[in-house]
Structure formats: structure tokens, C-alpha cells
A and B are shown apart, each in its own frame.
Chain A
């Protein structure tokens, strides 16, 4: 039985261009208080003739258009959003109020430091908090997202190794890693070497020993890894690498399983990024903006991107650009400052005890789901779970049902699906991350839904294979979308005059 969801009236809505007609408008500018300049005269050949098919609509139509579109979406505000690895937690509203205060939202990045002390202090305090949470020595807030942080971190490693005389050739990456890890290594000019996982889902130590040599710049490890498993041998892993002069990079995508409980810097991690949009509650926004601060050990500090925040002789805060060994800039200005504000507001709302409780609840929720669904869904790795649990579709596969089908059926039950078919080391993965933001009631509804779907897979596989049944659109033709891409709207061809 579907308990959480029901159908309701849903508005149809075309593209904004299809609502447009000449003469409608939603803007009004103040009266011009200087002489009007004729663009044709001022710009000559550089003047533009017209704006083509840009829309012409009124304000109420804009409100309705985007409101209607929004109702076709599902968000954390709607319910459990167990997208594994993405940490879809509650986005506190006070964060939004803070980030929109005039002096912060309206601050120009080049305004004199004298009138930027508030923003600098926020960045400074956030930096200090993140260093305390990670156990690292130095930090940059400049990277705009997790993958951008990865690149920054690997460039720090490269610069450090270059300073020692040899940047080395390759990066080791476990087979369970996010796709961004190998893509990042390639952009940083490194070859990628795959590192296999052992039967517990962890880095295989004998393989690591065999593969670590003077060509290896670093290992990129995710901890807990994408199976939700804590890499228990992390200290040994660091030692194996360090013995050969290689460094340890930690992808902090799953840092929400460690905050207040363990600090990567205490166990040999040399550099790591955090995703403020995962662990520190800044909104995911339909796919960004993110923010990916990178924290590192002292040995990498000289190479941090410019500028870094510095305390000036008079005690004021400022930016220091004069850093001879810096890898350079990775982004204009200072990063996604608006996300820094939100992350600090989140840390302040929690305090050290709240952050620890948050981590505990995230792990509690994942283990609760694991316990309740074990047996109904195949658990390929029985190693204890931290903040997420990965099942496979092996049991449902005998009825021809795949993880993607179960995901689609979950939509009918009123939930956003989990992460489908990742990590790659699990065939037909169901990667479930509830986060701490779910009540027992919501978890129980989700568990009921997953149980009911497991039954349907036996009793009525067609129901699952045809799902979702209740959404506006169902099972899109993604093959045609890729074969004959339509990537923009175009007006319908006007019939030629002769017709």
C-alpha cells in the first residue's frame, strides 16, 4: 500500500517562449536622469539589431510559470531524498537570511578591505572551524565545488612534489571512487591507476603495497568510501604512501559521517576537500552552487591558491597575494562566499555537540534502514555501514527487475530514488543515504515502501517495470535525446509566403 503519496491536480505549463507575445512586459526602469545615448550612434557597427526570440511576458505569468515548474520537482523539503553520496540534508532557512543581508550579498569583491572586514571575518572564522573539524593545518575556501576542490588538492600535491624535484607520474584511485577523481587526476596532468577493493569493500592493502612506488604522486581515497564503509586501515594506508614519498588525498564527500567523531588530519591525510553543500547544509539548488574548501597539512601550505586571508600588522584582516610558491588562482575572487556564510551559520546553529549528534543520527538512520531491509535486498558487502548503505538488485534480478526499475517504482510511493548503479564495484547498486534529517516516521514509511516493492517484484513485476505510474511523465526516451539532441527551443517554421 502506498501510504506517503497521493495524486493531486497538477498544472500543465508550456515553455516560457510559448507564452510570449509582443507588447507584454514585466519590467520598469527608473526615469533616466542623464542624457539618453543612442546605441546605434555610440556603438556603430557593434550595435545590436534585436533580441530575437527572447520572451515577452508579464510578472504574474513569470510567477505562475516558475511556480508550476517547481511543483514538478521533488526536494528535501518534500521528503526523504536518499540520494547516496549526495547528502541531501535539511537546508536551514536562517542560512538564507544571513547570506542575503545587504552588506554581504551586496559586497563587491574589490571593495577596499577596510569595508570588507565583516566578510573577511566570516571567512576566517569558517576556516578556523573547518580546520578544527578536519584536524588539518591550513585551508583555502576558493574552490567552487567538490571536483574543483579535488583539482586544487591534487595541484597542491603536484607543486609540493615538484619542489622536491619530481612531480611524479600517476595517481592511484580505488575502483569504488567517484568519477570526478580520475577526471581530476587527468586534468592535473597525471595518469590514473586503478586500485582494487578487497572483499570487505576496502582498499586492498597488498595491492596498495605492490602499486605504490616512486612514480605515485598520491592516492585519492574517499573515507568513508562510496560503499559507506570506513577505511579502517587508513593509518597504515598513509604510512605505505608516505614511506615511498607519496601523499594521501582524501575526498571529503562523506565527511558527514565523521564530523565531531574523527578527524582525517589525525590519521595521515595530507590534503582533503569538503563539500559545503553536503556536510554543511548549503542548498543543492537543483545542481549547485556548491563549495569545496581544501584543507591541508603544513607541508602543503606554501602552495595554496592566492589570495589567502592574512592578519595585517594593525590587526585588520586582509588578503595576501604575495606568495611565491602558490599554485596560482583556481577561481576568480575568493570562491563561493555566499556558501561560506551559510556553512558558518550551520556550524553556529549546531555547536560542537549538535554537530556530533548530527553525525550520530546520520549513521543511526543508515543502519536502521540497513537492518530493516537486509534479506529483502542483497547486501553485497556485510562490512558495517556508516552514513549510507549499498544494496544490490541481485534478488530482484531473477524477475528481470533492475535497480533503476525499483528506483522508478519508489517514485510512486512518494520518495525520491536512491543513487542508482553506483558505486561501480557493485553490480546493480542501490546506494541509500538517508542523512540525519529524517524522523523515524519518515524512515518507516520509506522502509515500508521498499518492502512493498520487494513484494511487487515477486508478485507483479510488471507494476515495477512500468513505473512510475503517477508522475506527469514516465520513462523518458533518453536514447533519442542523445542521438538527435534538441538542446534549445526554436520557433515553429512559418509557412513560406508562396504556400
Chain B
């Protein structure tokens, strides 16, 4: 096997040194009738060239080269090439959790920079080193709010990503967290009156998403006011991180949960991505996930290390803030490099391109179909309602190597023939014109 750095002669020599006759002696602790006899029924060993061929075929069966108008929590943004060249450095890519800071200052400093940039963008005071993704960050923010407030209920906007809400339900069932769902208005925003009625003195937090699942930007300040008046926290989820380039950060929130995929992470059929939790300093000890802090070494030199680990499972075991151990460090590094490439001015321009493309597309669609939720600002997604079932429209588009918007019937049956469309900086005017033409047929 080409990954194994030993000859049979070396193996024999090592066995002799150990003082056993054969490798089987080392497996003697496994009862004989439990041991596998012969080969498992697995594919035979492939040459490297065959492996590449096999996955090229799978790639070709998987929509390579299609133009896509899908968003809904996974966004096609251009990935600057420096990201992959840097994260492919073996010292980043083949290291593990920085338990030994003397040999991991690279990872530690990069995470510290990540935490800082997330704070700058979200308007929060502290951010963790990453969670698995946005969907799993969702229940973690709610459980965190429950620990902080000593309350248990969560009031959740129906315009939060449906799959995030599903993950929340899976976790919440066993945490004794009742969840109340609040609908949305004609303008796509959460129904604040219904929200106000739903929040009680048992509510730990109000959870909204902005831009929400329909691409509509919520009135964060108003939601915060309602939550805070009843002593609850406001949690804001962000699935489209690029929006932060031009959308006012949710500074009124107590906790921000985020999916950082838009920052240079491949859509990759759903993962790996990187979730983030950011919050106010006063809540940091209830925050799950790893944290890197600045300190100094014995000679007084600036250095970075994992810190506040007494929140974590390897110290606190069943009393930990979460069971999370491995997070998404390499993906967070992609995001850090992406945020550095675009930086203070570029992120603004990038977001403006997204805004402009979606505005153009929505206006074009509006000439031929009904664009819903017009009364509030949106970022790079919008909902189009058609006479025809969007699935049939998408069938036609597929023939032309285009993937249309996400049909919403499964998640929001009351919206009828509606689909969620997304345009990013990678979408061209020609593509937009081509899909609008098909929709109008």
C-alpha cells in the first residue's frame, strides 16, 4: 500500500524487536471468533489515476458547468485562488486542534484574526473559533440563551431557514425548550405584533434571521425592543455573510449566529461549512465552542492560546456548555483569507454587486410574474410567484444547463407556485435575461 512507509523486512524486524512471532500475536486481545477472516467485501485497491477518473465521472454526473440561481443558505460566490493555495499548506491542513501553543501559533493567530473580523462585521464583542455550520449553531445559540436567562422557551420566526429550524427542533425536544413559531407579513418580515404576543416571561430568546430565508432584511432593532422588554434575548442568524458588506450589523442582538460559507467556502453539496457564534462580552462564559485569546509567553512575547476552556467538554464533561469538540478550523481559515482579500472596501463592493444583480433580476421577473415581499429591503434573494409550477419551469431550464430558483411549496405551501431565487456577483445579466425568458413562456 503506497501510503505505508515500511518494507516487509522492516515489519519482520520490528516484530522481532517486540518479541512476537507474527502480527497476529498483536491482535490476540481480540477474541479469535470475532476476527475477520480474509478480505472485507470492498472495492479492490485503485491506482491514483483510477481514483481521479472515478471522481471525474461522478463530477460530470453532478451538474458541472450549470449556471445556478440557488441560494437558500448556500451561496455561489467566487473564491479567490489564494484561498486554496494557502489552506493547502501542510502546516495548516495536517495539524490538529492547537493544544500545544508553541507548535500552533500559526493556527492560533489566524483564529484570533478570524474572531476579530467576525466581531467587526457583526457588531458583536466576542466571537468563537467556529461551530459545525449555521444549522447546528442555531440550537447552540438557543441553549446558550436559556443558560443566560434561566428561562426555557424560544420564539422563532418562520422566516428562519426551515432546515435550521428542523435542527433546532431535534435538539430542543430533549432540552425541555418549547418553541413557538411566528409568521411573516406581506413584506416578508417577521410579524412583530404576533411576536410581541408570543414572547412571555418564560421566553429565553427570540430568534430571527436577517436577511431572512426570503432574502428580506428584518427590522432587528424592533425585534430586539420586543424581546428585551420581556427580559428575553434576541438571537439573529445570518446565512448570507456577504450581506454584512452593506447591511447594518445586528448590533441590538445579544447573540449572533452565522453561517460563514459565503466567505470563500465551496457550496460543496452542503458542507463542510463553518458556523459562528458571536455575542456580548458579558455572555462569553456561556458561549460554546473554542476561543483563542492573546497572552504572552515566559519571555513577555505576544502569543496566542486556547482559553476559557473550563466551558468545554474535555474539562467540564456533562456540565459543559456544549458537546462540541472538533470544529471547522480549516474552513474558518478559508473565511479569514476571504475576508482579508476583500477587506474593508472590497466586501462593500462585493455586496453591492450582489444587491445590484438581484435588484435587476427582481425587476425583470416583475415584468412577467409576481415578485413577493416588495415592501421591505432585500439583499440578493427574492421570491417569485408564477402561474406555472416552478418545478416545470426548472425542468425547462435544466435543458439549457441552468438551475432555477428553489421551489418553496415543500417549506411554505401557502405561497403556492413560489420559488426562491438568488443572484450573486457571479450571475451575469445574460443568464438573468435567459431565465426570465423561460419563466414567461
Complex contact A101–B170 (CB within 8 A): no
Whether A267 contacts B58 in the complex (CB less than 8 A), given A439-B5, A474-B298, comes out as no
A473 B297 Cβ-Cβ under 8 A: yes
Pick the most buried of A46, A65, A77, A122: most chain B CB atoms within 10 A of its CB.
Answer: A46
A357, B103: Cβ atoms closer than 8 Å: no
- Could you tell me if B247 and A46 are in contact, using CB atoms closer than 8 angstroms? yes
> How far does the alpha carbon of A92 sit from the alpha carbon of B384 in the complex, in Å?
45
B307 touches A63 (CB 8 A): no
| B186 interface residue per 8 A CB criterion | no
B52 at the interface (CB under 8 A from A): yes
Residues on B with beta carbons closer than 8 Å to the beta carbon of A429: none
Tell me whether A487 is interfacial, beta carbon within 8 Å: yes
Question: Distance in Å from the Cβ of A23 to the closest Cβ of chain B?
Answer: 9
Most A Cβ at <10 Å: residue of B70, B96, B126, B312: B96
**When the two chains form the complex, which single residue of A148, A333, A438 contacts B5, counting CB atoms closer than 8 Å?**
A438
Closest B residue to A266 by CB, please name it: B34
A34 located at the interface, meaning its Cβ lies under 8 Å from any Cβ of chain B in the complex: yes
A34 engages B52 (CB within 8 Å) = no
Which residues of chain B come closer than 8 Å to A102, judged between CB atoms? 59, 64-65
| A6 surroundings in chain B (CB, below 8 A) | none
* Partner-contacting stretch, out of B144-152, B200-208, B321-329: B321-329
CB closest residue in chain A, given B248: A48
Q: Is B412 an interface residue (CB 8 A)?
A: no
Interface residues of A in 229-258 (CB under 8 A from B): 229-230, 232, 234-235, 258
User: Is B34 a contact partner of A48 (Cβ separation < 8 A)?
Assistant: no
**Known contacts A132-B40, A187-B171; A71/B345 CB under 8 A:** no
Whether the Cβ atoms of B35 and A262 lie closer than 8 Å is yes
**Cα-based distance from A111 to B167 in the complex (angstroms):** 21
Q: Is A472 an interface residue (CB 8 A)?
A: yes
Decide if A473 touches B40 in the complex (CB within 8 Å): no
Interface size class of B (residues with CB under 8 A): 35 or more
- Residue from B90, B268, B323 within 8 A of A180 (CB atoms): B323
Q: Which A residues are in CB contact (< 8 Å) with B60? A: 103, 118
Interface 1/0 per residue, B84-98 and A, CB below 8 Å = 111111111111111
Nearest residue, chain A, Cβ from B266: A105
B271 at the interface (CB under 8 A from A): yes
Residues of B within 8 A of A108 (CB): 63, 68, 70, 74, 76, 267, 269, 403
User: What is the bound-complex CA distance between A16 and B299, given in angstroms?
Assistant: 23
CB-based nearest A residue for B104: A73
B43 nearest CB across to chain A (Å)? 6
| B179 interface residue per 8 A CB criterion | no
Among B105, B135, B308, max chain A CB count under 10 A is at: B105
**Chain B 38-65 against A: per-residue CB contact (8 Å), 1 yes, 0 no?**
0111111110101110111111111111
User: Cβ of A287 and Cβ of B58 under 8 Å apart?
Assistant: no
Given contacts A35-B360, A66-B86, A116-B62, is CB(A345)–CB(B132) below 8 Å? no
Q: How far is the CA of A53 from the CA of B44 in the complex (A)?
A: 54
Q: Which of B3, B57, B134, B307 interacts with A481 by CB under 8 Å?
A: B307
Please tell me if the beta carbons of A16 and B113 are within 8 angstroms of each other in the complex.
Answer: yes
Chain B 336-365 interface mask (CB, 8 Å, partner A; 1/0): 010111111111111111011101100000
Contact between chains at B269 and A29 (CB < 8 Å): no
Is B174 a contact partner of A29 (Cβ separation < 8 A)?
A: no
What is the minimal beta-carbon distance from B109 to any residue of chain A, in angstroms?
Answer: 6
Question: When the two chains form their complex, are residues B58 and A118 in contact, meaning their CB atoms are under 8 A apart?
Answer: yes
Q: Which of A54-62, A293-301, A391-399 contacts B (4 or more CB under 8 A)?
A: A54-62
B429 within 8 A of A: yes
- Is residue B373 within 8 Å, beta carbon to beta carbon, of the partner chain? no
Q: Of A15, A328, A438, which contacts B170 at CB under 8 A?
A: A328
Q: Is the CB of B107 within 8 A of A73?
A: yes
Tell me the minimal C-beta distance from A97 to chain B in angstroms.
6
Query: Which of A42, A65, A147, A355 makes the CB contact (< 8 A) with B323?
Result: A147
Residues of chain B from 219 to 251 with CB closer than 8 A to chain A in the complex: 219, 244-249
Q: With A54-B120, A118-B61 as known contacts, state yes or no: A48 contacts B169, CB within 8 Å.
A: no
> Could you list some 22 contacts between A and B, CB below 8 A?
A27-B350, A39-B246, A47-B247, A67-B86, A69-B110, A81-B95, A103-B64, A106-B267, A108-B70, A108-B74, A147-B324, A148-B324, A235-B31, A266-B34, A288-B132, A288-B329, A289-B271, A328-B170, A339-B272, A351-B45, A417-B103, A477-B296
